[in-house]
Amino acid sequence: MWTDALGRTYEYTPHSPELLADAEIGFSSEVALALAEASRALGSVPRFPLAGIATALYRSESSASSLIEGVGPGPRRILEAEFADLDELNDEPARRVVGNLEALRTAISTPVPARVEDMLTWHRLLMEGHPRMRPETIGALRPEQNWIGGDSFGPRDAEYIPPSPEDVPRLLEDLAGFSARTDLTPVALAAIAHAQFEVIHPFVDGNGRVGRALLQQLLVKRAGLDAPVPVSVPWSRNTDRYISGIRSFQDGDADSWLLYSSWSVIEAVDWMKEMAKRVEDLLDRLRKRVETRGRSVTAKVIDDLPMHPIVDTQTVAQRYGVTPQTAHEALLRLSESDVLIERPLSRRKKGRPRRVFAATELIDLLGNR
């Protein structure tokens, strides 16, 4: 029974999902074919140096995953929030995406299967400092019933009522057991684990982003990849379709969700290959704009732009072990050649903003979904 703030008392029934760790899981012939196609797509993903395009793919997945939840600052704001100190910028949405990025990086570095404690760590990295969440709910399983849709007073007329809070630990332990299975393809394992996580809805907020981090962990680890497959990019283009896929799984139609997930993986692989080519082509054009010598500071800055598209004299001097004067001269040379644009950090809190050098063409490219 539920009695809400308006004095209404009524019955409600939380969802009771099937346990998956030891469940027999079968697929239709259509789903099996789609999963095979998605597996072939994963097998075609090239090796990506972590300091190069892989870093851009981490950012793309984090940004798109946040956009699904309505958090959609542009690439410049996100990169400035990642670059700047906490006391420099007043940009809460961009900070949220940076938190998502940290959660994603930690998730992918976590051994499979992720424990409940690992998921709590991801949630804390994602939501730390969130102005609209109670501190005790960050990095903690929800202590109360939640619901989706309906009104804000209670689960009456809700579209979906997740499991009771006392069932959440048991369900997450079962999910960890399922994630350890080796009898499923990486795509099937990751897609089912993600949908089950969303069905459990273990946190007060942040469930979608943590659930997509779990998906990426399983895809990357099980398929032996160097970078996340940015499935959130196609999902962010049509969030209604993505949510309906999760709902179909919740209602017992796993085949529809797996079909959609398989084609989404294929689309994401095509996108990441195209993005990698466009980034490399752009770097080649930037290198031709300025004369460099061997492994000079100027050349190193260009090579590392996918990882560090915003720089300043101090960071360049520290990163490459040169004097501030040498670093500044290299940045001026890149600015004069239209490789970098000098400008102030935006959305500053107080005082005179720090001036930085930004690869604006690359930043614009990274924001292209």
Whether the predicted pLDDT of 349 surpasses 80 = no
Calculate what percentage of the chain has a pLDDT beyond 90.
Answer: 86
The pLDDT tens digits of the residues spanning 179-188 come to 999 999 999 9
Q: What does residue 27 show for φ and ψ, rounded to 5 degrees?
A: -130, 150
**Averaging pLDDT over each range in 39-48, 212-221, 274-283, which range is the top one?**
212-221
The pLDDT tens digits of the residues spanning 203-233 come to 999 999 999 999 999 999 999 998 999 999 9
Q: From residue 327, how far is each of 52, 84, 301, 363 by CA, in Å?
A: 21, 19, 10, 21
For all residues of the chain together, what is the average pLDDT? 94
Taking the domains of the chain in order of start, what are their residue ranges?
A: 15-270, 275-366
Global pTM value: 0.95
**What mean pLDDT comes out for the span 139-151?**
94
Band of pLDDT at residue 345, cut at 50, 70 and 90: confident
Which residue from 83, 325, 35, 29 is spatially nearest to 192, judged by alpha carbons? 35
CA angle in degrees (0–180, nearest 5) for 108-109-111: 95
Q: What does residue 342 show for φ and ψ, rounded to 5 degrees?
A: -85, 135
Calculate what percentage of the chain has a pLDDT beyond 70.
Answer: 99
**What mean pLDDT comes out for the span 79-100?**
91
CB neighbours (10 Å) of residue 212? 30
What's the pLDDT score for residue 330?
96
Judged by phi (left if over 0) then psi (alpha if -120 to 50, else beta), residue 76 lies in alpha
**What mean pLDDT comes out for the span 183-203?**
98
Give dist(CA 256, CA 265) in Å, integer.
14
User: No. of H helices and E strands in the chain?
Assistant: 15, 5
Whether the predicted pLDDT of 363 surpasses 60 = yes
Whether the predicted pLDDT of 14 surpasses 70 = yes
Residues 6+ apart with CB under 8 A from 119: 172, 202, 210, 214
Q: Which CATH superfamily is domain 15-270 in?
A: Fido-like domain (1.10.3290.10)
CA angle in degrees (0–180, nearest 5) for 246-267-56: 100
Residues 6+ apart with CB under 8 A from 47: 226
Give dist(CA 33, CA 258) in Å, integer.
11
Domain with residues 275-366, CATH architecture = Orthogonal Bundle (1.10)
Lowest mean pLDDT among 234-243, 287-296, 343-352: 343-352
**What mean pLDDT comes out for the span 145-165?**
93
Bridge partners (DSSP) listed for residue 10: 2
Give dist(CA 161, CA 15) in Å, integer.
6
What's the pLDDT score for residue 49?
65
Lowest mean pLDDT among 172-181, 220-229, 261-270, 351-360: 351-360
Whether the predicted pLDDT of 51 surpasses 70 = no
- β 355-358/341-344 pair status: antiparallel
What's the pLDDT score for residue 47?
84
